[in-house]
Chain A
Amino acid sequence: MNNKDFHGFLEGRKQSVASEIEALSAEGRTDEANILKAKFNVYDIAKSVFDTTVRQSPDTVATAFPALFSRITGSWSAALKTAKEHGDDRRVLVEEAKLSAVAEITNRFAALLT
């Protein structure tokens, strides 16, 4: 896998979500913009995790990155479930935004491996 491709994807999505945030803010949809910031941060987290994996275990990135990334994001599904159970609408939106980024990232990583 070309590390630069994955980096490029993460950076591209970051920029794209940043533009969405800007557009929502400009439109006066401040709350939705703030919720989307949680999604933006996930790409940053993925970048840091990926860089660390490449540095620490360059030969096993294919397995090490998903393992480390899922260790961080693993609890987010449970957080979404809890938020739904408690009718915490804001938290539901935040967790859903984060999980949509996780799905994009893991799918792209898997696609780049094949």
Chain B
Amino acid sequence: MTDLQAINLFKCLADKSRIQILKSLMEEDMYVERLAERLNLTPATISFHLKKLVDAGAVTSRKEQYYTVYAINGDVFNVSILDILREKSEEKTLQDEREEAYRKKVLDAFFEYGKLKSIPAQRKKELIVLKEIAKSFEPGRDYTEREVNIIIADFHDDFCTIRRDMISEHILVRDKGMYRKV
């Protein structure tokens, strides 16, 4: 478990409702409505907490007929806290984690449900956003300008600015009127 994973897990566990959900799941695997009934919380509240628990790796989910059933992830809880503390934190890993956390923060701030809310003014942030948009381009494939515009327009109406910025940041390369992801 990396430091970031451990922090996310501990943060996630620091909530009474989530602890109660985990205690219920210790008894048996359950679906949202059953947990909601037991804990006297709304199904939406339970879903919200379960998503956090799943994201932190504390709980797993599986489909069973019409229901999604949730279970404790034994692998995570069988690791002792001392084992987590004994793990060495490599500087490279820490650096990667910091960068990934920053990237996620920027994407969360500028994207909403897959749409770009605004083009970041700060270059470092714009670069992160442009690279995210570039994931929609297949590597090694040539695109016409119209195709490029259509792909970018799925994210933001100002596809001209974004297309030009992707060229100037060397994310896309333009050659004889055709575009290609670098």
A interface, CB within 8 angstroms of B:
27-32, 82, 86, 88-90, 92-93, 96
Instruction: State A30–B14 Cα separation when bound (angstroms).
Output: 9
> B-side binding surface: helix, strand, loop or mixed?
helix
Instruction: State A89–B16 Cα separation when bound (angstroms).
Output: 18
Q: How many residues of B contact A (CB 8 A)?
A: 13
Report B13 CB to chain A, min CB distance, Å.
10
Q: A88-B113, A89-B51 are in contact. Are A28 and B15 (CB under 8 A)?
A: yes
Asked if residues B47 and A89 are in contact (CB atoms below 8 Å), the reply is yes
- A-B contacts, 28 of them at CB < 8 A, read A27-B16, A28-B14, A28-B15, A28-B16, A28-B19, A29-B15, A29-B17, A30-B14, A30-B15, A31-B15, A31-B17, A31-B48, A31-B49, A31-B52, A32-B17, A32-B45, A82-B113, A86-B113, A88-B113, A89-B44, A89-B47, A90-B48, A92-B44, A92-B48, A93-B44, A93-B45, A93-B48, A96-B44
List residues of chain A with CB within 8 A of the CB of B51.
89
List residues of chain A with CB within 8 A of the CB of B47.
89
List the A residue with the shortest CB-CB distance to B19: A28
Instruction: State A13–B19 Cα separation when bound (angstroms).
Output: 30
Residues of B2-56 at the interface with A, using a CB-CB cut-off of 8 Å, are 14-17, 19, 44-45, 47-49, 51-52
Question: Mask for B103-126, Cβ within 8 A of A = 1, else 0?
Answer: 000000000010000000000000
List residues of chain B with CB within 8 A of the CB of A30.
14-15
Listed from nearest, the 5 A-B pairs whose CB atoms lie closest are A89-B48, A28-B16, A86-B113, A89-B47, A29-B16
List residues of chain A with CB within 8 A of the CB of B113.
82, 86, 88
Most buried by A among B14, B16, B48: B48
Report A82 CB to chain B, min CB distance, Å.
7
Instruction: State A93–B19 Cα separation when bound (angstroms).
Output: 19
Report A6 CB to chain B, min CB distance, Å.
29
Report B116 CB to chain A, min CB distance, Å.
15
List the A residue with the shortest CB-CB distance to B47: A89
